[in-house]
Structures are given as structure tokens and as C-alpha cells.
Amino acid sequence: MPETAPKKIDLRRRDMPKQEPEIRRHNFSEVALGYTPELAVEEARRCLQCKKPFCVSNCPVDVNIPEFILAIARGDFANGARLLKEKNALPAVCGRVCPQEEQCEKNCSLVKRGGQIAIGRLERFLGDWEAAQPPSALQGSQAALPRLPASTGKKVAIVGGGPAGLTAAADLVKYGHAVVIFEALHKMGGVLSYGIPEFRLPKKIVDGEINYLRRLGVEMRVDFVVGKLRTIDSLLEEYDAVFVGTGAGLPWFMEMPGNNLNGVYSANEYLTRVNLMKAYLYPQTITPVKTHQRVAVLGGGNVAMDCARTALRLGAEATIVYRRSRAELPARLEEVENAEEEGVNFKFLTLPVRAIADEHFHVQGLECLRMELGEMDASGRRSPVPVPGSEYYLPFDCVIHAIGNSPNPLIPATTPGLAIGKGGNVVVNSDSNKTSKERVWAGGDIATGAATVILAMGAGRKAASSIHQYLLNPTPW
Amino acid sequence: MLVPNLHQATLLAGEIARAVNPGQFIILRVEEDGERIPLTVSDWDREKGMISLVYLNVGKTTQKLADLTAGAALPSVVGPLGNAMEIDSFGNVLCVGGCYGIASIYPIARALKEKGNKVTVVIEARSSYLLYWQERLKTVADRLVVITRDGSQGLRGHIGNLGKIIAGLPSPVNRIIINGCNYLMMRGTQESQPLNIKTMVSLNTLMIDGTGMCGLCRVTVGSSTKFACVDGPHFDGHEVNWEELAQRRKAYLNEESQPFRSSEAQ
């Protein structure tokens, strides 16, 4: 074969380098290492640049995906980052935590030709690439801050500094409105800061994205609990509009005896101790988390995987206890596989019915029932049915409930005139995210119940657009 | 330091001072990456924008707080959190305080007095040298009763004498409010239960966020689990599962007291 023969283009989707399971299960550093520039360009060159891109129509925030991929393919990362950020204020976050397999990547034309284009990985690549550039390198280039329109003189208050609020803030500031975010915790980011672990979403990435919003001119007030320090009504006296994005912050516990034993946690508590309060660095930091030996995580979603993988890294043996089978796990497959590789145990078709105490009021195990899969239920999954008389005991010194959250009740309880749904959620118009209360919008988990980061961002975007229209041209509510 | 191991911190926190009501608390951090601890607001000046906290030095964070000098800034003070104490025209009200509860009962007694109640304040300590704020309490109390274990001031005895004190009052008590350590509140409610007087207590639980998010502050009240931060911290003391509360309070006792057992502690 002559040496000059062109190299055949490899059509396969490029894998992203990861830390080896044996190594990563002992540290809190990020699992996925991200594409190198070479890998990113190779992957981007696979994109067919479809005329009718399904990826864009499946994106909750309408990112112009083919355009930013084309920029990567040409090696123009600065332009790619700019294009991406036009529509998505948090690319480095979304590239990591969005369920791309159910959204942008789902109907990619390449699904059967080497695999769908790795949109999430490319998005992450651009977000990280830009964050790694020294500010001087971005000065004057198109990747620096977008040009903002003249101020409209309107002020918008955003309640809650999570994905919904951050996205709404970014859009509103780009429309020319003054924006203040009120966050209850001491750190911005909501679930991105307290919930999603360091090894899946490094906090410096979150901080970087939030700093970008600060540079855009968004004002942020932490340690500010709206509903306590000031009510929505009081904010409405000072602001032209209010967006409520306070999330699903009230943890559920499975209904069974023994939930108040020591060693029993909500996923929120366990993850907040470790992520927000940095207990994984204890005793260099002050907030501790117990070093348990055998940790049970009840639930099968992404949060459950996060808890189990956190427990592993803290030195415990971790077991997911789930009442259905592997096929019904609501977590992303990627997260399930990561957990399996790292050595998380799975007890499927198992329903805990009671937490059992030792003599020190500490949990020592779970009494469980075996389950069988029965008929299809409303969720389209086969419903689990207990096998009578199948009680058995599993020893655990820690039990984490990761079965979901209700919307945070602080705002609903303190805001007269705000219509509240059956699940405690704020009722919104699905087109505009307007609530029943004049000049108040809401979106994200507070409106939908616990869902995903990107859906909350989509709601923040929709609300921002509606707020903008209303502020320019107030119409009767 | 007010009295041995009890400290007072006065903070400039204008918005909180204007919003706070009796029985509410704040959460503060003393340093970046520090823990969040809940402390009851014991007094405030809405015009000057000041709030006062009285706290027991029990661990690393309270020690650091006590070590701060005037003019220092805290990275976080968030609040007011929790519900305010129910203040109404009850008639004769007995306000009981021990430890830091001597301070936190003060704004409650003041509000009850302003509402036209007859207020009897009972404060309890091991010895007279552990009592404080008596002058302040006298300004809002129709009657101040002092109990010390050693009899160095007032009645000799402890919270277990509450039943007798109530029996000795000239008119029947319509409501009791107890603030202090969980043991004091538990013993107090045991005294008031046979008398069938509604007794409100302000629970001290472990907390992280204080906004209902983590659920660490779960308590069993009656037959249901409540979150002290958003459902409380005030509950009917006769309904509280005190044994569970005491056990849950101890969950991290080892880690909390670690600084006092290590050589670096001064």
C-alpha cells in the first residue's frame, strides 16, 4: 500500500476519557475527564450538519447545535463558545448533567452510523475550554461578554439561585433589565452546588458559570430567604416582576417505621453535608459526615446514584435498594454504569418496610420484602408487587432516602394569591410560566416537582421571555 | 461572655432586625467553609439594625464565635428562620427560661406583655453566678421567679419544682412557654402535663440549611414527623417525643466535642 493513501475517517463516536473505576472510587475528582481539543475536533467533524436538525428541536433551550459543532470542527473554539452561550448560560454544567440521550442526541441522524454525535461532550468541551482561557485571551474576541442593550430601567427579582433562576437572570440581563437573584443558602447554584457531587460536577465549574453571570451584571444576594426576610409582596413593591425558582427542596422519606433513627438521612442532607459543606474534606472543614460501613440508598434515580457513589468514596460499601428491576431504574444509564463499574451493589425487587435500631438508637439494618413485577402501571413500567411472607433482613449502619422531593413550601405558604397545585407546586401557565399572581412568574421544580436541571433552565428561559414581553408592553394579567 | 460558658454576640444585621419576631432564629457561619449553626435571636433593635444572640459554647464554631472581637465580620448570617412564637391574649402566662433560654424567653415575654397578658417569668440555673438579664426581664415581667440548684438566689430547687410554683401563684396559669435545653423543656412539660396547661417549647435540633431542605431536624410530634426548622421550632411540649429528640441531638456529639478533647483546643 502506498504511503500516501488517505487515512480512512473513523466514523465511530469518540469516547470520552474517564478515570479508571478502581482509582476514581477512592477520590472526589471528576470521573469524566473531557475531550482533548483533538478528540473534540474529530467528533465535531462527524456531524452531518442536517438541514432540519432534530437535535435543536429536542433541546429545551434551543441551542443552535449544528453551528457550534461546525465551529469546533473548524477549530474556532472561541466562536463556538460564543454561539453556545447565546442560548445556554451554563454550558459546562449542561454538558455534564443534561440527559442528552433523551433530548438532543436522541434523534441524531448518526445514531445508526457510528453512534449519535456526542453533543453533550462537545458542549462541555467548549464550556471548559472557555473557562480555561486567561481573561486577556478573550478580551476583544467574540467570546468575551456579549454586548448588552441599553438599560430598560426595569427591575426583576429572581427568587432562588438554581438552574431556573440563573437562566432567567442571564436572559433578562441580556434583554437590558436589572436583575437581582435572592438565594437562601450561602452559595449560589441551588442543586448544582448542594446536590450534584463534585465528582460529577466540580464546584469550580459551577462557580465559573456563576461568575460569568456576575460579569454580565446580574446582582446576587446569598443568605437571603424570601418568604422569611422579605415576602414576594414586599419584593413586588420594589421590582417590576418576580420570578420564583425555589426548587423542590422538601425531602420525602419512604413511609416506614424507623426513619428518625440516627444514621438515617435524606439524600438532601447527605449530599449537602458532603457537597455544599465539603464534609469530604473533614476535618479540614468543620461539618462532618459519619464514616459509615454499609450504606443503603433507597431509590433508583440519579440522586440515588450520586448518594451511593458518594458513600463509596467516603469508604463505605454502598447498596442501592430498589423495588423494581434494573430496566426500570429512572437514573441515566451512564450513571448506572458508572455506579456499577465503581462497585456499587444493587438489590433489585426489594422493598424496605422497616428500619431497625440498635441499642444506641442507631440504625442497624432494614427489614425488606421481595417484590415481583406485575402489570403495567400508569408510568408505563411493570409495577412491583410484594411477595407475601418474603421478609428478610439486610444489615446497614446508614440508610439514605433518595426517593424525591416536594416543592419547597416557603413561598407558597407566605404568598397570598399564588395558586398552589395538589403536590404543593406553584401553578403556572405552560406557555408563559405566569402564575395566578400578577407580575409573578415561576418555573423549575417549584412548578413541576422534582425534574432535571435542563427542564428548569428551559422554564427559566420561557419565563424570562414572557417577563420581557410584559415589561415592554404590560397587558392585563 | 455573659456568665461562664454563655456568650452574647450583637450583630449589625439591619434587614433581619427589622423582620425578626419573637421565637425566630438565624443561622450563621463564622468562616468560609465553616459549619452553619442555628441560634435564637434573643433581642433586637429595629432602628439601629442590631440583633443579639446568646449561645452556649459547645463546639468549634461557638468557640470561634466567642473568640471574635468587636468589629469582626461574619461570612453568613441568614434569617429570620422558623415560625414566630404564637403571641395572643392568653391571660396568665408563665415564661420559663434556663441556660440560653433565659435570654430567648425575653422577647417572647415582652411581646406577651405588650399583648396585655400577665407574665410570670421563671428562670433557672445551677447557681446565682449563672444568671443574667434579670433587670431586662423585670422590665417585661409582672413577676420574676428565680430558682437555683444551690439556693444561692431565689428558691432552692430546679425545674422539677415548676408544679409547686404554679400551685403557689395567685391565679391559674393559662399557658406556659419554656425555652432552654431540651432536658429543661422536657422536665417542664412533665410538670405541666398533669395540670393540663398548654405548654409550648422551642426545640433545639441539629440543622444544616434551616429552610426545610435537609430534614436533619426531624422530630416526632404527636403521631407525625415534623421539621423543626419550617414547622417549628415551637411545638406543644406534651406532644413531643422527647426520647427521640434527645437521641437525635446526640448523633454528632462525638464530632462536636472533638475540638475540646484534642490538644489544639485552648
Residues 35-64 of B with CB under 8 A from A: 35-36, 60-61
B253 interface with A at CB cutoff 8 Å:
no
Which residue ranges form the domains of chain B, and what is each CATH number? 6-81 (2.40.30.10), 92-249 (3.40.50.80)
A187 interface with B at CB cutoff 8 Å:
no
pLDDT digits (tens, 9 = 90+) for A102-161: 889 998 999 988 899 999 999 999 999 988 887 666 555 444 677 788 999 999 999 999
Residues of A in contact with B61 (CB under 8 A): 286
A279 interface with B at CB cutoff 8 Å:
no
Has residue A143 been placed in a domain? no
Residues of A in contact with B16 (CB under 8 A): 229
Q: What is the rounded CA–CA span in Å between residue A405 and residue A253?
A: 9
Are B78 and A184 a contacting pair at CB < 8 A?
yes
pLDDT averaged over chain A? 91
What SS3 class is residue B154?
Answer: coil
B167 interface with A at CB cutoff 8 Å:
no
Give residue B265's pLDDT. Answer: 44
B245 interface with A at CB cutoff 8 Å:
no
A185 interface with B at CB cutoff 8 Å:
yes
One domain for residues A379 and A272: yes
Are A250 and B213 a contacting pair at CB < 8 A?
yes
One domain for residues A373 and A288: yes
One domain for residues A76 and A183: no
Has residue A6 been placed in a domain? no
pTM confidence score: 0.91
One domain for residues A265 and A376: yes
pLDDT digits (tens, 9 = 90+) for A155-186: 999 999 999 999 999 999 999 999 999 999 99
A233 interface with B at CB cutoff 8 Å:
no
One domain for residues A233 and A168: yes
| Residue pairs between chains A and B whose CB atoms are closer than 8 Å | 103
Are B35 and A286 a contacting pair at CB < 8 A?
yes
Enumerate the β-bridge partners of residue A392.
Answer: A368
Q: Which domain holds residue A116?
A: 21-138
B78 interface with A at CB cutoff 8 Å:
yes
A424 interface with B at CB cutoff 8 Å:
no
Peptide bond into B80 cis (omega under 30): yes
Has residue A229 been placed in a domain? yes
Pairing outcome for strands B92-98 and B175-179? parallel
Residues of B in contact with A225 (CB under 8 A): 78-79, 81, 211
| CATH number of the structural domain spanning residue A297 | 3.50.50.60
Residues of B in contact with A404 (CB under 8 A): none
Give residue A132's pLDDT. Answer: 86
Q: What is the rounded CA–CA span in Å between residue A38 and residue A40?
A: 5
pLDDT digits (tens, 9 = 90+) for B211-231: 999 999 999 999 999 999 999
Of A164, A171, A172, A168, the closest CA to residue A189 belongs to A164
Has residue A444 been placed in a domain? yes
Q: What number of CA atoms fall less than 13 Å from residue A310's CA on the CB side?
A: 33
One domain for residues A379 and A446: no
Q: What is the rounded CA–CA span in Å between residue A270 and residue A184?
A: 19
pLDDT digits (tens, 9 = 90+) for A391-424: 999 999 999 999 999 998 889 999 999 999 998 9
Has residue A477 been placed in a domain? no
B19 interface with A at CB cutoff 8 Å:
yes
Give residue A288's pLDDT. Answer: 81
| CATH number of the structural domain spanning residue A125 | 1.10.1060.10
DSSP state string for B173-229: --EEEEES-HHHHHHHHHHHTTTT--EEEE-----SSSSSSS-TTEEEETTEEEEHH
Q: Would the pLDDT of B261 be above 80?
A: no
A66 interface with B at CB cutoff 8 Å:
no
From B219's Cα to the closest Cα of chain A, the distance in A is 8
Contact of B147 with B127, CB cutoff 8 Å = no
One domain for residues A348 and A373: yes
Q: What is the rounded CA–CA span in Å between residue A261 and residue B247?
A: 8
Contact of B185 with B203, CB cutoff 8 Å = yes
Residues whose CB is less than 8 angstroms from the CB of residue A140 and which lie 6 or more positions away in sequence, other chains included: none
Peptide bond into A197 cis (omega under 30): no
Residues whose CB is less than 8 angstroms from the CB of residue A188 and which lie 6 or more positions away in sequence, other chains included: A161, A166, A181, A210, A220, A222
C-alpha cell at B221: 410530634
Are B251 and A269 a contacting pair at CB < 8 A?
no
One domain for residues A260 and A236: no
One domain for residues A412 and A389: no
Q: What residue ranges in A363-427 does DSSP mark as E strands?
A: 363-376, 382-386, 392-395, 398-401, 405-406
From A356's Cα to the closest Cα of chain B, the distance in A is 14
Residues whose CB is less than 8 angstroms from the CB of residue B36 and which lie 6 or more positions away in sequence, other chains included: A186, A277, A287, B27, B28, B29, B76, B207, B208, B209, B210
Has residue A36 been placed in a domain? yes
Grid-cell match 433562576, residue found: A165
Q: What is the complex's ipTM, to 2 decimals?
A: 0.91
Q: What is the largest CA-CA distance in chain B?
A: 54
Q: Would the pLDDT of B263 be above 60?
A: no
Give residue A159's pLDDT. Answer: 97
One domain for residues A49 and A178: no
More confident residue, B240 or A454: B240
One domain for residues A111 and A184: no
Give residue B266's pLDDT. Answer: 41
Among residues A403, A432, A452, which one ends one of the domains? A403
From B73's Cα to the closest Cα of chain A, the distance in A is 14
A291 interface with B at CB cutoff 8 Å:
no
Has residue A96 been placed in a domain? yes
Has residue A4 been placed in a domain? no
Among residues A111, A138, A165, which one ends one of the domains? A138
Low-confidence ranges of chain A (pLDDT < 70): 1-9, 135-144
Are A410 and B33 a contacting pair at CB < 8 A?
no
Among residues A138, A173, A190, which one ends one of the domains? A138
Are A251 and B214 a contacting pair at CB < 8 A?
yes
Q: What is the rounded CA–CA span in Å between residue B240 and residue B40?
A: 20
Are B211 and A285 a contacting pair at CB < 8 A?
no
Give the dihedral sign, CA B175/B178/B184/B189. Answer: positive
Give residue A131's pLDDT. Answer: 85
Structural domain count, chain A: 3
Give residue A3's pLDDT. Answer: 53
Residues of B in contact with A262 (CB under 8 A): 247-248, 250-251
pLDDT digits (tens, 9 = 90+) for B113-155: 999 999 999 999 999 999 999 999 999 999 999 999 999 999 9
In B16-26, which positions are buried (b, 16+ CB within 10 angstroms) versus exposed (e)?
bbebbbbbbbb
Of B16, B60, B208, the CB nearest to A273: B208
Are A408 and B213 a contacting pair at CB < 8 A?
yes
One domain for residues A332 and A453: no
